[in-house]
Structure 1
Amino acid sequence: MPQRTEYFHFQPVTTRWHDNDVYGHVNNVTYYSFFDTAVNTYLIETGGLDIHEGEVVGFVVSSACDYFASIAFPDRIEVGLRVGKLGNSSVQYELAVFKEGEEEACAAGRFVHVFVDRASNRPVAIPDRLRAALELLVA
């Protein structure tokens, strides 16, 4: 089970009432939203990614998640983030969901972004500022 000490950046995320499913815990698909929120907040705030008008955007091309323990609203969570692989135009993020203050992850996942030119949808090199931010998270 992934441990908090294995991650380099943490993004607090608030669970919401509608995240719970009929079984009383956060539905599995919601974890992907947590991952997307953590990564994109980091890319925007630290890497300078302009999601509205920038020439380069990231497309998710692969994703997966493993579940170890349930979370439910109103749990406070933190999503741990690190980079497992940094290529020329792609990056593989490794993420884990932790209940606030807990050392063991409730879930762990990964996804790959390919950065593309917004106009052509063709892969491009990761911009320098964004690459510098991602390099801080390389495992």
Structure 2
Amino acid sequence: MTAPHPLRDDYRHFQPLDTRWHDNDLYGHVNNVVYYGYFDSAVNRYLIERGGLDIQDGEVVGFVVSSACDYFASVAFPDRLDVGLRVGKLGNSSVQYELAIFREGETEACAAGRFVHVFVERRSNRPVPIPPRLREALQALVMA
């Protein structure tokens, strides 16, 4: 028995995204590795815009230490997508994101993934507590 596809209502934030011509592979659909780029772009845009993450000069950066994705239905160029984002676990220096890819206007996910960021001090690459503004933005994504 397969697990039900995640639903749009299961996510707190959505990032619209257009597929690109070169996202398609020889089989005529978006290649599996491209989904990780979609996830990374949605999370980082949220962290920059809502959490004040300074990717150029900030003292703290997020390193991906774990990731996975499950696929339920193909998407292909020129599909318009929404990347659903929520936080599954918020720790002292780490966060587990849970994401899903939805075709524009659809309620069932085409894919669902997760990844973990550990926040580190840029110079030392050592874990540090998540800065307050960033933590506040992440807390807003935690599902009850």
TM-score normalized by the length of structure 2: 0.96
**Match in the other structure for 2:64:** 60
Structure 1 equivalent of residue 105 of structure 2: 101
SS state at 1:46 partner: helix
Which of 13, 19, 23 pairs up with 2:23? 19
* Structure 1: runs of 5 or more not aligned: none
Amino acid at match of 1:49: L
- Tell me the distance in 1 between the aligned counterparts of 2:80 and 2:18: 6
Structure-1 residue corresponding to 2:87 = 83
Which residue in 1 is equivalent to 2:122? Answer: 118
The counterpart of 1:4, out of the listed 8, 13, 21, is 8
Instruction: Give the paired residue count.
Output: 139
Root mean square deviation of aligned Cα: 0.3
Q: Which runs of 5 or more structure 2 residues have no equivalent in the other structure?
A: none
Instruction: Specify the code of the residue in structure 1 equivalent to 2:113.
Output: G
Aligned-partner Cα distance in 2 for 1:12–1:112: 22
CA offset at residue 14 of structure 1? 1.2
- TM-score where L is the length of structure 1: 1.00
Identity over the aligned pairs, expressed in percent? 78
Q: For 1:101 and 1:130, how far apart are their aligned partners in 2?
A: 30
**Deviation beyond 3 Å, 4+ runs, structure 1:** none
